[in-house]
Amino acid sequence: MSKPRIACVVGTRPDTIKNVPVFIELKKFADRCDPVLVATGQHREMMDQALAAFEVRPDIDLDIMQVGQTLAEVTSRALDGLERVFKENRPDFVIAQGDTATTFVASLAAFYHRIPFGHVEAGLRTPTVQDPFPEEFYRRASALITHQHYPPTQWAKQNLLREHHDPETIFVTGNTGIDAVLRIAEAQKQDWLTGHEGRVFVLTTHRRENWGEPQRRIAEACLALVERYPDSVLVAAMHRNPIVRETLTSVLGGHPRIQLIEPPEYARFVKLMQRATLILTDSGGVQEEAPAFGIPVLVLRETTERPEGVESGNAKLVGTDKDLIYSEAVRLLDEPDAYASMSAAASPYGDGLAAPRIRYLALKSLGVESPEVPMWEL
């Protein structure tokens, strides 16, 4: 009897970081299954950086990225490529992560071929399908044709139940992003600002809804923070989108204690988070990862599909109002009890064992036994 083939599909930096731990876990059981890593290359360089951090290479690379690509072009090229891959390789199970175009298309291509689809980080939701755009649509649409949902938390599970998905298909696993960040943190040495003894603020902002004036307000708030604390350094990892870069550079460029840097390789960014005193971000992944290190997070969005961090006290939703960002940061930095409360809260996102749980569930659905791990309960 041949071993079942499981295709793990990635395409961007976030979905690579969170799906490769599942692929690596499946590879440990290569005597029982045939895992295949399929890359669309939706975000070429940033995806490659994430792959390098885990020292893996895709078995199949569609290399679809083109300069100036539209969402429609990404979708059509990824669908055409995955159609060929699934037709030629006939996987028995497909796994993809999150809310990218690659993930949505992987679920759709699997549906067309009647291949069971496993959705890592299922069940995240915001009140409207338009925000965040287009990610909220992608995750909702993928859920409609998912065979096994792997929500990271009980909150995400409840979202799926409210949408009337079959409870027998929903398994709370914790977040594979915690698996990834703990693995990388343990393996890497700290080399950020080793001679600096003061505060370190880390900024990441890239979401479409924050382009333009909201991003300018964010940058102005960060500039005010650096000016208030003479012992501080701000490190802003700039997304490659020129719209983002123009705004950040115009406000923050040229300051002696502000570093505008290229997006670091994933392993280096993990160590930067560990080095931070405070993180300001509109990134979903960073909202999950920072609590693993006890770093307070100010979330630069009006809504978040990751409310667990806010509810547990690890993060605070501050939007893009300049005065609110500034005042909340100052409160944390000037009030030791407030800072200690945020940094001491237990991470609600996982224990580093999400990938083994997903491996067990996927293989079990294919009639293959492997060691079981209890589901994530927090």
Please indicate, yes or no, if residue 374 is contained in any of the structural domains.
Answer: no
The distance of Cα 129 from the centroid of its chain, to the nearest Å, equals 19
Whether residues 12 and 147 share a domain: the answer is yes
pLDDT tier for residue 308 given thresholds of 50, 70 and 90: confident
Q: Which two tokens stand for residue 350?
A: 């996982």
185 found inside a domain: no
Task: Give me the catalytic one of 43, 149, 206, 217.
Answer: 206
pLDDT of the residue at 90: 96
Higher pLDDT among residues 345 and 139, named by residue? 139
**pLDDT for 49:** 87
**Three-state SS for 172?**
coil
CA–CA separation, 135 vs 217, rounded Å? 24
- Lowest-confidence segment of 101-105, 221-225, 304-308, 366-370 by average pLDDT: 304-308
Examine the domain organization and report whether 167 and 26 are in the same domain: yes
Q: Considering the entire predicted model, what is its pTM?
A: 0.83
Residue 269 C-alpha from the chain's centroid: 13
Residues 15, 25, 92, 99: which is the catalytic one? 99
Quick check: is 142 in a domain?
A: yes
Over residues 5-34, the pLDDT tens digits come to 999 999 998 999 999 999 999 999 999 999
Instruction: Give the residue-averaged pLDDT of 161-189.
Output: 94
Residues 161 and 241 in one domain: no
pLDDT at 350 > cutoff 80: yes
Query: What pLDDT is stored for residue 69 in this prediction?
Result: 87
Euclidean distance between the first and the last CA atom of the chain, given in angstroms as a whole number: 39
For residue 86, give both structure tokens.
């699934």
Q: For this structure, is 239 an active site residue?
A: yes
The catalytic residue among 208, 216, 255, 268 is 208
CATH number, position 213 = 3.40.50.2000
Structure tokens at 36: 């295949």
Domain assignment present for 53: yes
Indicate whether 249 and 145 sit together in one domain. no
72 located within any domain: yes
- pLDDT greater than 90 at residue 203: yes
Question: Do 168 and 29 share a domain, yes or no?
Answer: yes
pLDDT at 46: 80
* Domain extent at residue 106: 5-175+350-365
Q: What angle do CA 16, 360, 124 make, to 5 degrees?
A: 50
b/e per residue 148-160 (b: at least 16 CB within 10 A)? bbbbbbbbbbebb
| 209 and 325, same domain (yes or no) | yes
Enter the DSSP assignment of 281: E
What's the confidence (pLDDT) of residue 65? 85
Number of domains within the chain: 2
Residue 148, φ and ψ in degrees, nearest 5: -130, 120
Q: Quick one: 89 and 202 in the same domain?
A: no
Task: Give pLDDT tens digits for 248-272.
Answer: 999 999 999 999 999 888 899 999 9
| 3-class secondary-structure state, position 33 | coil
What pLDDT score was predicted for residue 344? 81
What mean pLDDT comes out for the span 130-146? 95
CA 10 vs CA 121, 129, 144, 292, 333: distances in Å: 14, 23, 20, 24, 38
Find the catalytic residue in 135, 136, 305, 328: 135
* pLDDT band at residue 1 using 50, 70 and 90 as cut-offs: low
Q: pLDDT by residue (tens digit) across 64-102?
A: 988 888 999 999 999 999 999 999 999 999 999 999 999
Q: At residue 130, does pLDDT exceed 70? A: yes
Known catalytic membership, residue 255: no
The highest-confidence range among 52-56, 125-129, 222-226, by mean pLDDT, is 222-226
48 is catalytic: no
How far CA 372 is from CA of 168, 175, 349, 350, in Å, comes to 17, 17, 20, 16
Facing residues of 259 across strands? Answer: 235
Residue 186 covered by a domain:
no
Same domain, 155 and 61: yes
Report which DSSP code applies to 97: E
Same domain, yes or no, for 280 and 337?
A: yes
pLDDT at 179: 95
Q: Is 43 a catalytic residue?
A: no
| 8 A C-beta contact, residue 273 and residue 178 | no
Beta-strand pair 34-39/297-299: unpaired
Domain for residue 80, yes or no?
Answer: yes
63 is known as an active-site residue: no
Q: Residue 94: what are its φ and ψ, rounded to 5°?
A: -125, 135
Is the Cβ–Cβ distance between 289 and 267 less than 8 Å?
A: no
Cα 142 to Cα 158: distance, rounded to the nearest angstrom: 17
Q: For the chain, give the percent of residues with pLDDT over 70.
A: 99
DSSP state of 61: E
Co-location of 337 and 354 in the same domain: no
Q: Based on the fold, state whether residues 171 and 284 are members of the same structural domain.
A: no
Together in a domain, 121 and 244: no
Model confidence at 378: pLDDT above 70: no
Chain mean pLDDT for the chain = 94
Catalytic residue among 121, 136, 308, 328: 121
**Residue 119 is a catalytic residue:** no
SS3 314: coil
Closest CA to 260 of 245, 272, 276: 245
Q: Is residue 89 part of a domain?
A: yes
Buried b (16+ CB within 10 A) or exposed e, 36-72: bbbbbbbbbebbbbbbebbebebbbbbebbeeeeeee
